[in-house]
Amino acid sequence: MFIKKPVSVRTFIAFLMLLALTTRAQQPPVAVIERLHPNLDAVIDTHATVSVIADGFGWVEGPLWVEAEKMLLFSDVLNNRIYKWTAEKGTRIYLEPSGYTAAVPRGKELGSNGLAINARGQLVLCQHGDRRISVMNAPLANPEPAFITAAGDYRNKKFNSPNDLAVKSNGAIYFTDPPYGLEQGPEDPARELPFHGVYRIAKDGHVTLLADSLTRPNGIAFFPGEKQLLIANSDPQKPHWYIYDLDKEGGLANGRVFFNGTAIFQKEHRTPDGIKINKRGVVFAPGPGGVWIFNKEGRALGRIKTSLITSNCAFSEDYRTLFITADHCVLKVTLK
pLDDT in the model for residue 276: 98
The predicted structure's pLDDT at residue 1: 40
The pLDDT value recorded for residue 21 is 46
Other C-beta atoms closer than 10 Å to the C-beta of 178 total 25
pLDDT in the model for residue 332: 98
Cα distances (angstroms) measured from residue 238 to each of 163, 197, 242, 288, 292 = 18, 16, 10, 13, 17
* Confidence bin at 12 (pLDDT 50/70/90): very low
pLDDT of residue 107: 86
Give the mean model confidence (pLDDT) for residues 23-35: 78
Specify the pLDDT at position 295.
98
- The three-state secondary structure class of 67 is helix
Instruction: Over range 123-132, report the average pLDDT.
Output: 98
CA distance 310 to 233: 15
Q: Is the pLDDT of residue 54 over 70?
A: yes
As a dihedral over the C-alpha atoms of residue 268, residue 297, residue 200, residue 272, rounded to 10 degrees, the angle is 0
The whole-number pLDDT of residue 28 equals 80
263 CB neighbour count, 10 Å cutoff:
9
The lowest-confidence range among 12-16, 159-163, 241-245, 307-311 is 12-16
- Taking CA atoms, 111 is separated from 96, 182, 197, 214, in Å, by 9, 11, 20, 24
What integer pLDDT is reported at residue 144 of this predicted model? 98
pLDDT value for 17: 53
Q: What is the pLDDT of residues 155-180, one digit of tens each?
A: 999 999 999 999 999 999 999 999 99
The mean of the pLDDT values for the chain is 93
pLDDT at position 11 is: 52
Q: Where are the domains of the chain?
A: 56-277
The reported pLDDT for the residue numbered 240 is 98
| CA 70/CA 239 separation, integer angstroms | 35
Domain at 56-277, CATH from 2.40.50.140, 2.120.10.30, 3.20.20.70, 3.30.70.1150: 2.120.10.30
State pLDDT tens for residues 106-124.
Answer: 989 999 999 999 999 999 9
Question: Residue 215: exposed, middle, or buried by beta-carbon count in 10 A (0-12, 13-18, 19+)?
Answer: middle
DSSP result, 246-273: E-TTS-EEEEEEEEE-HHHHHHS-----
Give exposure, 100-121, as e/b (b: 16+ Cβ within 10 Å).
beeeeeeebbbbbbbbbbbeee
Share of the chain above pLDDT 90, in %: 90
Check: CB of residue 164 under 8 Å from CB of residue 274: yes
Among 1-5, 41-45, 119-123, 174-178, the range scoring the smallest mean pLDDT is 1-5
For 277-287, the pLDDT digits (tens) are 999 999 999 99
Cα 146 from Cα 90, distance rounded (Å): 25
